[in-house]
A and B are shown apart, each in its own frame.
Chain A
Amino acid sequence: MTATLHTTTDIVEATAAFLADAVRPQVDQYTRNEQMPDDVLSGVTKLGLWAPFLPTSVGGPGVSWVTFGQLHMAIGRVDSSLRSILTAHSLVAESVRRWGTAAQKERWLPGLASGEQMASFCLTGNESGSASSVNDTHATSDGEGWVLSGTKKWTTSAQRSRLILVFADTPAGMTAFLVPRDTPGVSATPTSGMCGARANLLGEMHFDQVHLGPEAVLGPVGRAKAYVMTSALGVGRLSVAAGCVGIIEACLDLVVSYTKSRLVGNDRLLDKQLVRRKVSDMYCARRTGVLLVEHAAHLRDRRASRAIEESWIAKYPISEAAYTAASHAVELLGANGCSSDYPAFRYLGDAAVMRIIEGTSHIQQDIIADFAEHEFGISRIGTDDLVVERGGR
């Protein structure tokens, strides 16, 4: 963090300037090339954006979750790959902040705040996908410590990360391990050719008989699913939801400016009723998205127990709306929307990824239906009470 950024407003304004001057001019090119330029990552470091919620005592700017949401909306408006790198990093940083022992916090938080310990979050196994089961990665006790083996797919930042949070099966149940990248037996294979978030340094992580000390365990042994994973993905969904608001805003930037200047006969494209309907839907979706993100972030700032639930309710509809908005953007730009001359197609690929990461839309629906059943299906009223008028009276 630079010494000059004292207030939240400073950080938000400096981030906006950085995104406009240093990221936007090159994002289309580096996304095509599936690279994340060093100057973008060093800019993130200078601004203290790696895990901005970390307190000043460990070198972070210590912003609120509401500000975190604003920052990820702004970043997502320009580059979903960068936002995705910061999402993964934030999951690990928040997990260490929340579950770390005093020694783990002292060892890792300063490097997580500065970005020196760029982090990856390794949950999805080779075959497990949405099941978030970890039966492809095992850790067994070797007396003093652990031996970890397995493979994790779709790992953001795998090509560059220094610290990896790995979820593995142990005899006691799912357990989380903090694994330094330079530990013998750890390797990464880049994954290329994705449709979206193409510059997020994706890869597969391999763990071959990796020996770890007892200090590698993060959070309660055997209970990582209920606690470490659940709390981390609460942050992840907040970040992805914010990033999706950014995608909708990017689509509005593109669609409004394009349809204002494009003429169909003597009319602006923007004056056509069917176009106006799509633009108004996008505009309302963006406003709804901002409110959902702010609400979920505000609950997190208040340490409210419903904050995790609200992160689901934010991520699901906003990621769907981002996909719809990007689809409108491609359509309204016509052939231009399908070309690499405009970013519409990049937004569509990014939005496709957002409906899948941090829990697919189908998983979200399943969980959210649980909330509905639990809140509205309770026994205060029976189905008989719902019958307005019985027949045959």
Chain B
Amino acid sequence: MSVVRDEVRSDIHAWLKARLDQTISDDADIAQLGANSLFAMEFLVELENRFEIEIPTDALDQIDAITVNSMTDVVCRLHSEIAHTAGTRSGEL
């Protein structure tokens, strides 16, 4: 399954809007949002669940801040890796 970048971004925005009752800019540091310091992890788990991925440590090490922009990139990149692996596997089936 591949994802469309703009759909990922708008999906993330929709969840943040519903969860925080406010519109979050693309470059806002998500770790500073929410009720307290737990929100950053909640956001990460939500992305993992919603887009059926696991965000590995190196994906976080490669970005300066957790933002809608940076995480849209991470989700799309992980999805393209999954699609690539699945493509390789489907040849074996």
Q: Please determine whether A303 and B61 come into contact, CB atoms closer than 8 angstroms.
A: no
Stretch touching chain B among A57-65, A146-154, A218-226, A249-257: A218-226
Q: CB of A227 within 8 A of chain B?
A: yes
Q: Give the contacts of A91-136 with B (CB-CB under 8 A).
A: 99-101
**B90: A residues at CB distance < 8 A:** none
What number of A residues sit within 8 Å (CB to CB) of B?
Answer: 31
Beta-carbon contact of B41 and A230 below 8 Å? yes
Q: B42, A308: Cβ atoms under 8 Å?
A: yes
Give complex CA distance A305, B40 in Å. 10
- Across chains A and B, the number of contacting residue pairs, with CB separation under 8 Å, is 61
- Residues 35-63 of B contacting A (Cβ, < 8 Å): 35-38, 40-46, 48-49, 56-58, 60-61
Does A393 make an interface contact (CB < 8 A)?
Answer: no
Minimum distance in angstroms from A302 CB to a CB of chain B: 8
Q: B47 — nearest CB in chain A belongs to which residue?
A: A305
Q: Give B15 Cβ to nearest chain A Cβ, in Å.
A: 9
User: Which residue among A221, A234, A303, A305 has the maximum number of chain B CB atoms within 10 Å of its CB?
Assistant: A305
Cβ of B31 within 8 Å of any chain A Cβ, yes or no, is: yes
Identify B60's interface contact among A220, A302, A367, A378, CB under 8 A. A220
B40, B44, B57 pick with most chain A CB within 10 angstroms: B57
Contact B40 A309 (CB under 8 A): no
Contact B36 A370 (CB under 8 A): yes
Residues in B with CB closer than 8 Å to A312 are 38
Contacts of B52-93 to chain A: CB distance below 8 A: 56-58, 60-61
> What residues of chain B lie closer than 8 Å to A306, measured between beta carbons?
42
Complexed CA–CA distance, A231 and B45 (Å): 10
Q: How many residues of B contact A (CB 8 A)?
A: 21
The answer to whether B40 and A380 have CB atoms under 8 Å apart is no
Q: Are A226 and B35 in contact (CB under 8 A)?
A: no
Chain A residues with CB under 8 A of B31: 223, 226
Could you tell me the distance between the alpha carbons of A306 and B36 in the complex, rounded to whole angstroms?
Answer: 13
Q: Does A303 lie within 8 Å of B44, measured CB to CB?
A: no
Q: How far is the CB of B28 from chain A (nearest CB, A)?
A: 15
Interface residue? A201 (CB, 8 A): no
Asked if A341 is an interface residue, CB under 8 A from chain B, the answer is: no
**Smallest CB separation, A36 vs chain B (Å):** 32
Least CB distance from A11 to B in Å reads 26
B21 lies within 8 A of chain A by Cβ? yes
A30 within 8 A of B: no
A354 and B19 alpha carbons, distance in the complex (Å): 31
Confirm or deny: A307 has a beta carbon within 8 angstroms of a beta carbon on chain B.
yes
Contact A231 B35, beta carbon cutoff 8 Å: no
0/1 per residue, B8-29, Cβ < 8 Å to A? Answer: 0000000000000100000000
A304 to B50 CA separation, bound complex (whole angstroms): 9
* Cβ of A182 under 8 Å from chain B: no
A304 touches B41 (CB 8 A): no
Give, as a whole number of angstroms, the nearest-CB distance from B43 to chain A: 7
Least Cβ–Cβ distance between A282 and chain B, in angstroms: 31
Add 12 more A-B contacts to A220-B60, A374-B35 (CB < 8 A): A101-B56, A219-B60, A220-B57, A226-B40, A227-B40, A227-B44, A230-B41, A303-B45, A305-B42, A305-B45, A305-B49, A380-B21
Instruction: Give residues in B with beta carbon < 8 Å to A.
Output: 21, 31, 34-38, 40-46, 48-49, 56-58, 60-61
What are 24 contact pairs spanning A and B, CB under 8 A?
A218-B57, A219-B60, A220-B57, A226-B37, A226-B41, A227-B41, A227-B60, A230-B38, A230-B40, A234-B41, A302-B49, A304-B45, A304-B49, A305-B43, A305-B45, A305-B46, A306-B42, A307-B45, A312-B38, A367-B36, A367-B38, A371-B35, A378-B21, A379-B21
A-B interface, 9 closest residue pairs, ranked by CB to CB distance from nearest: A305-B46, A374-B35, A370-B35, A220-B60, A230-B41, A226-B40, A305-B45, A370-B36, A305-B42
